[in-house]
Amino acid sequence: MTVETGSGPTPPRLVTLSVEELHASLTDPALESMNLLNEIAARFPDAVSFAAGRPYEGFYDIEDVHRYLRTFWSYLVEERGHDAERATRLLFQYGRTKGVIHELIAGQLAVDEGITTDPEDIVVTVGAQEAMFLTLRALRSDDRDRLLSVSPMYVGVTGAARLVDLPVVGVTAGADGVDLADLAAKAERVRAAGHRPRALYLVPDFSNPTGISLPLGTRRRLLDLADRLDLLILEDNPYGIFAHGERRMPTLKSLDHRDRVVYLGSFAKTSLPGARVGFVVAGQRVTDAAGADRGSFADQLSKIKSMVTVNTSPLAQAVVAGQLLANKGSLVAASTAEQLVYRHNMRQLLDGLARRFPDPHAAGVSWNNPSGGFFVTLTVPFPADDLALADSARRYGVLWIPMHHFYEAPGGLHQIRLSCSCLNPADIDEGLDRLAAFVTGRGRKGEPG
Amino acid sequence: MTVETGSGPTPPRLVTLSVEELHASLTDPALESMNLLNEIAARFPDAVSFAAGRPYEGFYDIEDVHRYLRTFWSYLVEERGHDAERATRLLFQYGRTKGVIHELIAGQLAVDEGITTDPEDIVVTVGAQEAMFLTLRALRSDDRDRLLSVSPMYVGVTGAARLVDLPVVGVTAGADGVDLADLAAKAERVRAAGHRPRALYLVPDFSNPTGISLPLGTRRRLLDLADRLDLLILEDNPYGIFAHGERRMPTLKSLDHRDRVVYLGSFAKTSLPGARVGFVVAGQRVTDAAGADRGSFADQLSKIKSMVTVNTSPLAQAVVAGQLLANKGSLVAASTAEQLVYRHNMRQLLDGLARRFPDPHAAGVSWNNPSGGFFVTLTVPFPADDLALADSARRYGVLWIPMHHFYEAPGGLHQIRLSCSCLNPADIDEGLDRLAAFVTGRGRKGEPG
């Protein structure tokens, strides 16, 4: 910290802070990359954006907020037997750190996911991001700790890890979402270096950023391997509900009979981001050196939460709960309209790519075919870096995210993430025309990027 | 992490976590003490509680939530010119990390506190607790860093400091809220040990836990001393608005012309805790070693927030904003009814103590006379520890908080915090009868506690 002399008539000496004396995360590329991408997006407001992973907005209606609040109020009074005073206190006052809609969330997990959980093992959080942050804060005890994460990975996990000084070791995703041989090798390498792999983070369903899902066999083998490696699994599942068709893949949590899995849930994509409500299921028992029970892992996360956000806004929880109640406790039922939109958009994106690149091999491009979620990985025959993105935005009017931002180490330089979640059909077509022109033009010129 | 063999028919080996391998904060008394106090309170539900520092609930009305949401909606559409689509997006979608009601907060600070601030220097947070957490996370760069805090201190700051491994050094409060000689000595002692005092945390108005306020002269001298010591000041101000009478003391921020002060604000006591909305004003400029501008300190806090909670629920922000708008942008105007309640309760508490201890010296008791806020410090002639509290609860039916919980080092053993914020007049009288019986009985017996 230094004191500078200003230039006013009565010179005020203003305090300035030195960024080098602030926490190292603040100069880390992981926390800078989203800013950089947002800046590019802001400079080209008329570009079609395949970059934004926001949920579809077309069904949002402010009157629903009032309706959901009234639905939750009725539930408290009529089903839970609260008088008006108690119901008001629950919504207005400080409250239970672990949240007030934990029973409804446990019910939703049972109905939609086949997950059986004690509501006491749930901590309702300010979005899944806080759930992730609390989990990493709890797990990072000293300099030896490491987080394994399937790579490429969601920037939120990298950023949260930076905030608690927890180094992240990437594990290859491969074609099946996680390369189990690489996972075993990385865990052993971490241990051989005297470090401790605390957990593996992944998004098993329609991963952000790749769109890849783990096949059923891989899920089972991953759980077995985690047992052998003595690893926790952090399963982040914001997109699983948006599978095309009736059959969804079982979550790792629903296949887990040994409390291997800490499950991170989000209502941002199924309900609304503006409530900022997510949760973590963490039923693992915690003991001390004497073998005494110290409660559940959820209880530990709750203690940390009490010093980060105290509790999640019960008004915001009420909005989410009202929507659940209005749909018989099911998020699948609550989001049927959105599911159709995402399915149609994904179909249009994939078909549109196929139409514009009838001979992908000749064009040097390829893409995967997710059967749900928001994201597609497109591989291109040139370095898809930030300069290429700026060129795409300026000259072709189309935005996307360079995949290299999702890697811990150099990687993904020829890949881009395409998102189709918040676009309408006309924009997808227009955007694909522009994208194809950009890819073809740049591919032909063989520009180094 | 160990794997245990269960006793079911098909033995599931359940993962258990070792608390010693989790972050050290989880076994720290700072995070345990509130749990312990809550447990005592839960065991004696019929006790009168001078322990709870919750705001008064009598004016809460669920219909106000609907009304405030509609008021904010009208403001967006009629005053800000948003169409319905844009207003809906603002309330439902992911949004600006620094928040969406920053202009209204800047207006409130101008109207109520005489603080002039650029709205861009405000980060809207999930309660003042998140504001504190983000600030400490940013300031804690390495093992040399220390936080100075007026002692006794709010447990939230101790807990947040623990989460980022930032040791706290207590500075004596003394009669005037901060002992400036001790502050200078402590800062110099920290530096002499090769450490860095990054900031001084305090609640200058009606402090939690003591109820003490800094006189005007002390405020000015504190700012001068902070300049000399090159210290940031973290000013936490949840209670300043609840001053008795018209004249309130100027905040440190309003007296600060050198960006010395990071100001932490709360809507929990003036609006409602259930919104979980607070904020931080952090206009300090941040530069790098080359002298280049790296934005404001608020921009840095925003980057951290993006990895902790992403953004504060805009629905929750809208409720607070609606209440501000309904009261011409003033929290003073919005909370006139609460101000009367708190003033009356404090008067009744202080008068009631005087009536029950007509000769305090003979009884070995004393207390301070706050002219606002929620809290009073009562000094008693015996150790007021957790065992004494349990005895008070069990045998006398009255709860309070042992002051020693608010000290970093041993201290405050003969003091207790009394809160009168959420009691009604009959309970205050009954509670004081019980408290007097407890204090007199225990004082007479000279029990060691």
Chain A nearest-CA distance from B254, in A, is 15
CA A60 to each of CA A278, A346, B430: distance values in angstroms, whole numbers, following the listed order: 19, 21, 51
Q: Which pLDDT belongs to residue A129?
A: 97
pLDDT at position A7 over 80: no
**Residue of A2, A3, A19 best to disrupt the B interface, most CBs of B under 10 A:** A19
**CATH no. of A24-53+336-445:** 3.90.1150.10
Phi, psi angles (nearest 5°) of residue B431: -65, -40
What is the per-residue pLDDT across B42-76, written as a single tens digit (0 to 9) for each? 899 899 999 989 999 999 999 999 999 999 999 99
Rg (CA), chain A: 23
Domain locations in chain B as residue ranges: 24-53+336-445, 64-331
Interface pTM (ipTM) of the complex? 0.95
pLDDT at position B438 over 50: yes
What is the per-residue pLDDT across A41-99, written as a single tens digit (0 to 9) for each? 889 989 999 998 999 999 999 999 999 999 999 999 999 999 999 999 999 999 899 99
List beta partners, residue A168: A147
**B121 and chain A: CB distance < 8 Å anywhere?**
no
| Interchain proximity A287–B232, CB inside 8 Å | no
Query: Which chain A residue lies closest to B144 (C-alpha atoms)?
Result: A21
Tokens of A443: 């591919």
- Identify the helix (H) or strand (E) that includes residue B445: helix B425-445
Q: Which pLDDT belongs to residue A9?
A: 54
Tokens of B107: 């207006």
Q: How far apart are the first and last CA of chain B?
A: 40
Q: Which residues of B299-329 are buried (b: 16+ CB within 10 A; e: fewer)?
A: bbbbbbbbbbbbbbbbbbbbbbbbbbbbbeb
CATH class of the A64-332 domain in this structure: alpha beta
pLDDT at position A444 over 50: yes
| Interchain proximity A163–B13, CB inside 8 Å | no
Chain A nearest-CA distance from B5, in A, is 10
Which CATH architecture fits B64-331?
3-Layer(aba) Sandwich (3.40)
User: At B276, is the secondary structure helix, strand, or coil?
Assistant: coil
Share of chain B above pLDDT 70, in %: 96
Task: From A284, A259, A304, A323, select the one nearest A75 (Cα to Cα).
Answer: A323
What is the per-residue pLDDT across A100-133, written as a single tens digit (0 to 9) for each? 999 999 999 999 999 999 999 999 999 999 999 9
pLDDT at position A3 over 60: no
pLDDT bucket at B224, cuts 50 / 70 / 90? very high
Query: Using CA atoms, how far apart are residues B179 and B172, in angstroms rounded to an integer?
Result: 6
Phi, psi angles (nearest 5°) of residue B172: -60, 135
Tokens of A259: 């409390």
pLDDT bucket at A11, cuts 50 / 70 / 90? low
pLDDT bucket at A336, cuts 50 / 70 / 90? very high
What is the per-residue pLDDT across B149-175, written as a single tens digit (0 to 9) for each? 999 999 999 999 999 999 999 999 999
Q: Which pLDDT belongs to residue B408?
A: 87
What is the per-residue pLDDT across A245-284, written as a single tens digit (0 to 9) for each? 878 999 999 999 999 999 999 999 988 999 999 999 999 9
pLDDT at position B183 over 80: yes
What is the per-residue pLDDT across A185-219, written as a single tens digit (0 to 9) for each? 999 999 999 999 999 999 999 999 999 999 999 99
Beta-strand pair B375-379/B398-399: unpaired
| Interchain proximity A19–B92, CB inside 8 Å | no
pLDDT at position B208 over 50: yes
What is the arithmetic mean of pLDDT over A153-177? 96
pLDDT bucket at A446, cuts 50 / 70 / 90? low
Which residues from chain B sit within 8 angstroms of residue A24, using beta carbons?
141
**A338 and chain B: CB distance < 8 Å anywhere?**
no
Q: Which pLDDT belongs to residue B445?
A: 64
pLDDT bucket at A445, cuts 50 / 70 / 90? low
Q: Which pLDDT belongs to residue A42?
A: 84
What is the per-residue pLDDT across A361-396, written as a single tens digit (0 to 9) for each? 999 999 999 999 999 999 999 999 999 999 999 999
**A124 and chain B: CB distance < 8 Å anywhere?**
no
What is the per-residue pLDDT across A22-36, written as a single tens digit (0 to 9) for each? 999 999 888 777 777
Q: Considering only residues 19 to 48 of chain A, which have any Cβ-Cβ distance to chain B shorter than 8 Å?
A: 19-27, 31-32, 34-35
Task: From A184, A171, A190, select the one nearest A226 (Cα to Cα).
Answer: A184
B219 or B449, higher pLDDT: B219
pLDDT bucket at B40, cuts 50 / 70 / 90? confident
Query: Which chain A residue lies closest to B224 (C-alpha atoms)?
Result: A13
What is the arithmetic mean of pLDDT over B367-383? 97
Share of chain A above pLDDT 70, in %: 96
What is the per-residue pLDDT across B226-251, written as a single tens digit (0 to 9) for each? 999 999 999 999 999 999 987 899 99
Q: Which pLDDT belongs to residue A12?
A: 66
